[in-house]
Amino acid sequence: MFGFDGVWLAFSLTLLAGLATGVGSVLAFFTSSTNTKFLSWALGFSAGVMIYVSMVEIFVKAKESLVSSQGEIAGNWFTVVGFFAGMILIALIDRLIPKQGNPHELKKVEDMKETKSTASGDKSLLKMGTFTALAITIHNFPEGIATFTSALQDPGLGVAIAVAIAIHNIPEGIAVSVPIYFSTGNKKKAFRWSFLSGLSEPLGAIVAYLFLMPFLTDLMFGIIFAAVAGIMVFISLDELLPAAKKYDEAHTSIYGLIAGMAVMALSLLLFI
Protein backbone atom coordinates (compact mmCIF):
# COMPACT_ATOMS: atom_id res chain seq x y z
CA MET A 1 0.00 0.00 0.00
CA PHE A 2 2.86 2.36 0.84
CA GLY A 3 6.22 2.51 -0.94
CA PHE A 4 9.55 1.98 0.80
CA ASP A 5 10.48 5.66 0.39
CA GLY A 6 7.25 6.76 2.08
CA VAL A 7 7.75 4.37 4.99
CA TRP A 8 11.38 5.43 5.40
CA LEU A 9 10.46 9.13 5.38
CA ALA A 10 7.70 8.57 7.93
CA PHE A 11 10.06 6.66 10.22
CA SER A 12 12.82 9.27 9.83
CA LEU A 13 10.46 12.09 10.82
CA THR A 14 9.32 10.11 13.87
CA LEU A 15 12.93 9.39 14.87
CA LEU A 16 13.94 13.06 14.58
CA ALA A 17 10.95 14.16 16.66
CA GLY A 18 11.83 11.64 19.37
CA LEU A 19 15.51 12.57 19.48
CA ALA A 20 14.59 16.15 20.37
CA THR A 21 14.56 15.05 24.03
CA GLY A 22 18.32 14.60 23.68
CA VAL A 23 18.55 18.14 22.26
CA GLY A 24 16.88 19.42 25.42
CA SER A 25 19.43 17.62 27.55
CA VAL A 26 22.34 19.10 25.54
CA LEU A 27 20.86 22.60 25.86
CA ALA A 28 20.74 22.14 29.62
CA PHE A 29 24.46 21.40 29.68
CA PHE A 30 25.76 23.99 27.23
CA THR A 31 23.62 27.08 27.78
CA SER A 32 23.82 29.26 30.87
CA SER A 33 20.19 30.40 30.99
CA THR A 34 16.76 29.65 29.62
CA ASN A 35 15.33 32.08 27.09
CA THR A 36 11.90 31.96 28.73
CA LYS A 37 10.36 34.35 26.22
CA PHE A 38 11.39 32.14 23.30
CA LEU A 39 10.43 28.95 25.16
CA SER A 40 6.97 30.35 25.89
CA TRP A 41 6.55 31.37 22.24
CA ALA A 42 7.85 28.03 20.94
CA LEU A 43 5.55 25.96 23.15
CA GLY A 44 2.60 28.15 22.13
CA PHE A 45 3.62 27.76 18.47
CA SER A 46 3.75 23.98 18.86
CA ALA A 47 0.28 23.97 20.45
CA GLY A 48 -1.06 26.16 17.64
CA VAL A 49 0.27 23.79 15.00
CA MET A 50 -1.13 20.74 16.79
CA ILE A 51 -4.58 22.18 17.48
CA TYR A 52 -5.05 23.63 13.99
CA VAL A 53 -3.83 20.58 12.11
CA SER A 54 -5.83 18.24 14.36
CA MET A 55 -9.16 20.03 13.96
CA VAL A 56 -8.84 21.32 10.39
CA GLU A 57 -6.93 18.51 8.69
CA ILE A 58 -6.61 15.26 10.68
CA PHE A 59 -10.17 15.19 12.07
CA VAL A 60 -11.59 16.00 8.62
CA LYS A 61 -9.54 13.26 6.93
CA ALA A 62 -10.65 10.79 9.59
CA LYS A 63 -14.27 11.74 9.01
CA GLU A 64 -13.97 11.43 5.21
CA SER A 65 -12.40 7.99 5.53
CA LEU A 66 -14.97 6.71 8.02
CA VAL A 67 -17.98 8.14 6.19
CA SER A 68 -16.65 6.55 2.98
CA SER A 69 -16.38 3.12 4.59
CA GLN A 70 -19.27 3.19 7.10
CA GLY A 71 -21.83 5.59 5.68
CA GLU A 72 -22.83 9.10 6.76
CA ILE A 73 -24.36 8.43 10.19
CA ALA A 74 -22.07 5.62 11.38
CA GLY A 75 -19.01 7.37 9.95
CA ASN A 76 -19.70 10.56 11.91
CA TRP A 77 -20.25 8.58 15.10
CA PHE A 78 -17.03 6.61 14.61
CA THR A 79 -15.13 9.87 14.09
CA VAL A 80 -16.40 11.51 17.26
CA VAL A 81 -15.93 8.36 19.35
CA GLY A 82 -12.40 7.88 18.01
CA PHE A 83 -11.53 11.52 18.75
CA PHE A 84 -12.60 11.33 22.40
CA ALA A 85 -11.13 7.83 22.76
CA GLY A 86 -7.75 9.34 21.88
CA MET A 87 -8.24 11.99 24.56
CA ILE A 88 -9.25 9.38 27.12
CA LEU A 89 -6.24 7.21 26.26
CA ILE A 90 -3.69 9.97 26.81
CA ALA A 91 -5.56 11.18 29.91
CA LEU A 92 -5.40 7.67 31.42
CA ILE A 93 -1.68 7.52 30.70
CA ASP A 94 -1.36 10.83 32.55
CA ARG A 95 -3.33 9.55 35.53
CA LEU A 96 -1.24 6.39 35.82
CA ILE A 97 2.04 8.31 35.94
CA PRO A 98 3.31 8.95 39.49
CA LYS A 99 3.02 12.61 40.43
CA GLN A 100 6.73 13.07 41.10
CA GLY A 101 7.59 11.91 37.59
CA ASN A 102 5.03 13.91 35.66
CA PRO A 103 6.73 15.42 32.60
CA HIS A 104 4.52 18.49 32.79
CA GLU A 105 6.73 19.75 35.63
CA LEU A 106 9.25 21.32 33.30
CA LYS A 107 12.68 22.50 34.42
CA LYS A 108 14.73 25.49 33.38
CA VAL A 109 18.40 25.40 32.42
CA GLU A 110 19.20 27.59 35.44
CA ASP A 111 18.23 24.65 37.64
CA MET A 112 21.46 22.99 36.53
CA LYS A 113 23.41 25.62 38.47
CA GLU A 114 22.23 24.41 41.85
CA THR A 115 25.22 23.47 43.95
CA LYS A 116 26.20 19.84 44.00
CA SER A 117 26.65 19.96 47.76
CA THR A 118 22.89 20.28 48.23
CA ALA A 119 21.86 17.83 45.53
CA SER A 120 24.58 15.29 44.79
CA GLY A 121 23.61 11.79 45.83
CA ASP A 122 20.00 12.76 46.48
CA LYS A 123 18.13 9.53 45.80
CA SER A 124 14.75 11.27 45.64
CA LEU A 125 16.01 13.39 42.73
CA LEU A 126 17.31 10.31 40.94
CA LYS A 127 13.91 8.70 41.46
CA MET A 128 12.19 11.81 40.11
CA GLY A 129 14.38 11.83 37.01
CA THR A 130 13.81 8.13 36.44
CA PHE A 131 10.05 8.49 36.81
CA THR A 132 10.07 11.48 34.47
CA ALA A 133 12.02 9.49 31.86
CA LEU A 134 9.51 6.64 32.19
CA ALA A 135 6.57 9.04 31.94
CA ILE A 136 7.95 10.68 28.80
CA THR A 137 8.66 7.25 27.31
CA ILE A 138 5.00 6.30 27.79
CA HIS A 139 3.82 9.67 26.44
CA ASN A 140 6.01 9.49 23.36
CA PHE A 141 4.81 6.06 22.26
CA PRO A 142 1.36 7.19 20.98
CA GLU A 143 2.98 10.36 19.63
CA GLY A 144 5.25 8.13 17.53
CA ILE A 145 2.24 6.30 16.12
CA ALA A 146 0.60 9.66 15.37
CA THR A 147 3.64 11.07 13.55
CA PHE A 148 4.30 7.89 11.59
CA THR A 149 0.74 7.30 10.37
CA SER A 150 0.27 10.98 9.52
CA ALA A 151 3.51 11.09 7.51
CA LEU A 152 2.52 7.93 5.65
CA GLN A 153 -0.74 9.45 4.49
CA ASP A 154 0.58 12.97 3.86
CA PRO A 155 4.34 13.71 4.10
CA GLY A 156 3.73 17.48 4.40
CA LEU A 157 1.38 16.87 7.30
CA GLY A 158 3.90 14.50 8.85
CA VAL A 159 6.62 17.17 8.72
CA ALA A 160 4.38 19.69 10.49
CA ILE A 161 3.44 17.24 13.23
CA ALA A 162 7.06 16.10 13.66
CA VAL A 163 8.24 19.69 14.08
CA ALA A 164 5.50 20.47 16.62
CA ILE A 165 6.25 17.33 18.65
CA ALA A 166 10.01 17.96 18.47
CA ILE A 167 9.53 21.47 19.93
CA HIS A 168 7.61 20.15 22.90
CA ASN A 169 10.09 17.27 23.39
CA ILE A 170 12.98 19.69 23.99
CA PRO A 171 11.84 20.95 27.43
CA GLU A 172 10.83 17.38 28.32
CA GLY A 173 14.46 16.37 27.72
CA ILE A 174 15.51 19.07 30.19
CA ALA A 175 12.95 17.74 32.69
CA VAL A 176 14.65 14.32 32.57
CA SER A 177 18.29 15.43 32.61
CA VAL A 178 18.15 18.09 35.37
CA PRO A 179 17.12 15.87 38.33
CA ILE A 180 19.35 12.98 37.20
CA TYR A 181 22.32 15.31 36.89
CA PHE A 182 21.52 16.79 40.31
CA SER A 183 21.54 13.40 41.96
CA THR A 184 24.54 11.84 40.19
CA GLY A 185 26.66 14.77 38.95
CA ASN A 186 27.05 12.70 35.76
CA LYS A 187 26.22 14.53 32.52
CA LYS A 188 26.59 11.40 30.40
CA LYS A 189 24.10 9.48 32.50
CA ALA A 190 21.63 12.40 32.44
CA PHE A 191 21.94 12.68 28.65
CA ARG A 192 21.60 8.92 28.18
CA TRP A 193 18.33 8.78 30.12
CA SER A 194 16.99 11.81 28.27
CA PHE A 195 18.02 10.37 24.90
CA LEU A 196 16.54 6.94 25.60
CA SER A 197 13.20 8.39 26.73
CA GLY A 198 12.77 9.85 23.23
CA LEU A 199 13.39 6.52 21.49
CA SER A 200 9.90 5.31 22.37
CA GLU A 201 8.66 7.58 19.59
CA PRO A 202 10.35 5.62 16.76
CA LEU A 203 9.39 2.46 18.68
CA GLY A 204 5.76 3.57 18.30
CA ALA A 205 6.42 3.96 14.58
CA ILE A 206 7.80 0.41 14.37
CA VAL A 207 4.76 -0.98 16.19
CA ALA A 208 2.47 0.98 13.84
CA TYR A 209 4.33 -0.42 10.83
CA LEU A 210 4.34 -4.05 12.02
CA PHE A 211 0.89 -4.32 13.59
CA LEU A 212 -1.30 -1.56 12.14
CA MET A 213 -0.24 -1.26 8.49
CA PRO A 214 -1.38 -4.79 7.53
CA PHE A 215 -4.88 -3.80 8.68
CA LEU A 216 -4.84 -0.20 7.42
CA THR A 217 -8.27 -0.21 5.79
CA ASP A 218 -10.34 2.97 5.48
CA LEU A 219 -12.03 2.04 8.76
CA MET A 220 -8.77 1.46 10.65
CA PHE A 221 -7.12 4.54 9.17
CA GLY A 222 -10.12 6.72 10.07
CA ILE A 223 -10.23 5.51 13.67
CA ILE A 224 -6.45 5.97 14.10
CA PHE A 225 -6.57 9.48 12.65
CA ALA A 226 -9.55 10.47 14.80
CA ALA A 227 -7.70 9.20 17.90
CA VAL A 228 -4.51 11.00 16.82
CA ALA A 229 -6.47 14.27 16.59
CA GLY A 230 -7.81 13.72 20.11
CA ILE A 231 -4.36 12.88 21.50
CA MET A 232 -2.77 15.99 19.98
CA VAL A 233 -5.51 18.35 21.15
CA PHE A 234 -5.27 16.93 24.68
CA ILE A 235 -1.47 17.29 24.73
CA SER A 236 -1.80 20.89 23.57
CA LEU A 237 -4.41 21.84 26.18
CA ASP A 238 -3.04 19.82 29.08
CA GLU A 239 0.70 20.11 28.54
CA LEU A 240 1.91 22.65 26.00
CA LEU A 241 -0.26 25.66 26.82
CA PRO A 242 0.09 25.37 30.64
CA ALA A 243 3.88 25.04 30.23
CA ALA A 244 3.92 28.01 27.84
CA LYS A 245 1.91 30.15 30.26
CA LYS A 246 4.31 29.22 33.06
CA TYR A 247 7.10 31.05 31.24
CA ASP A 248 4.81 33.64 29.63
CA GLU A 249 5.72 37.28 29.21
CA ALA A 250 3.09 39.69 27.87
CA HIS A 251 0.93 37.10 26.07
CA THR A 252 3.94 35.66 24.24
CA SER A 253 2.50 32.14 24.31
CA ILE A 254 -0.75 33.29 22.67
CA TYR A 255 1.18 35.09 19.95
CA GLY A 256 3.09 31.84 19.41
CA LEU A 257 -0.20 29.92 19.32
CA ILE A 258 -1.62 32.21 16.63
CA ALA A 259 1.65 32.08 14.67
CA GLY A 260 1.60 28.27 14.79
CA MET A 261 -1.96 28.18 13.49
CA ALA A 262 -1.15 30.70 10.75
CA VAL A 263 1.95 28.83 9.59
CA MET A 264 0.04 25.55 9.57
CA ALA A 265 -2.86 27.12 7.67
CA LEU A 266 -0.52 28.65 5.09
CA SER A 267 1.39 25.40 4.59
CA LEU A 268 -1.86 23.47 4.05
CA LEU A 269 -3.05 26.07 1.50
CA LEU A 270 0.25 25.91 -0.39
CA PHE A 271 0.01 22.12 -0.70
CA ILE A 272 -3.59 22.00 -1.93
Tell me how far apart the alpha carbons of residues 257 and 50 are, in angstroms, rounded to a whole number. 10
201 labelled binding-site residue:
yes
**98 phi/psi in degrees, rounded to 5:** -55, 145
Q: Is 168 annotated as a binding residue?
A: yes
Nearest CA to 179 among 244, 140, 134, 243?
134
Query: Is 105 annotated for ligand binding?
Result: no
**Of 201, 176, 171, which Cα lies nearest the Cα of 190?**
176
Integer Rg of the chain from CA: 19
Nearest to 208 by CA among 137, 132, 150, 253: 150
Instruction: Give the distance, in angstroms, between the CA of residue 212 and the centroid of all CA atoms in the same chain.
Output: 20
143 marked as part of a ligand binding site = yes
The verdict on whether residue 172 carries a ligand-binding annotation is yes
Residue by residue, DSSP assigns 14-70 as HHHHHHHHHHHHHHHHH-SS--HHHHHHHHHHHHHHHHHIIIIIIHHHHHHHHHHHH
Binding residue numbers? 140, 143, 168-169, 172, 201
Binding residue numbers for Zn(2+)? 143, 168, 172
Binding residue numbers for Fe(2+)? 140, 143, 169, 172, 201
